[in-house]
Homo-oligomer: A and B are copies of this chain.
Amino acid sequence: MTIDLHSETRPCGVDAASAAARRVIDALVGSGDMTDADMADIADRLNAVADDLEETAPSRNDRLVNMWVGDGNTRHDPVTGPENPIAPPLEYVGVDSHTIEATTTLGLPYQGPPSSVHGGVSALLLDHTLGVANGWAGTSGMTAELTLRYHRLTPLFEPLTITARQISVDGRKIRTEGAIRTGGEDCVTAEGLFIAKHPPRPR
């Protein structure tokens, strides 16, 4: 099978700039006010980068159409997109015909409780992973209902395995499960009901 579970990160272009932006995000949250860095200068330099990017950016409508051509959302989504500095980004592998997984380690920008992943960030990663598992299994759709159970704190700075498996397809109803685990223990589990429909791509 050659379904793309995620887009490969390229070593150049917007992917390299987004990887650098991730370093900036991590360093800003890691610094806060505990730094001698000249934050006014840092802000000026970042605003200058934004100015230069905005000056040459396509119109929003052109970009909205273009970003759904080809790979679709996998280049830019907030979980796996190499173009999106918010994305960790996750990189999935197929485990069996209905199951995928990714391994990642999250840092301070994703913190909820002390030294732990924000419960809502876990929800974000799981919602996306369940959706991609549906595509991998052959029938995907839109999230209708998602239930998350939090079993123990999910640690920052330690490798997490994020997995999802499509359980059943009944007419347009798709049921999918997933988990975030560390050291073999469930931290968060998820059950999703998806409906097999897709909104139109922008033209």
Q: How many copies make up the complex?
A: 2
Taking a contact as CB atoms under 8 Å apart, the answer to whether A112 and B77 are in contact is yes
Q: If A76-B111, A77-B111 touch, does A83 touch B53 (CB 8 Å cutoff)?
A: no
**Which residues does chain B contribute within 8 Å of A42, judged by CB atoms?**
17, 20, 49, 52-53
Taking a contact as CB atoms under 8 Å apart, the answer to whether B20 and A32 are in contact is no
| Size range of the chain A interface in the assembly | 35 or more
12 contacts between A and B (CB under 8 A): A14-B31, A14-B35, A20-B50, A31-B58, A32-B63, A37-B57, A42-B49, A68-B114, A77-B112, A113-B142, A147-B147, A147-B148
Chain A positions near chain B (C-beta within 8 angstroms): 12-14, 16-21, 23-37, 39-40, 42-50, 52-58, 60, 62-64, 66-68, 73, 75-79, 81, 83-86, 108-116, 118-121, 123-128, 131, 142-150, 153, 157, 198-202
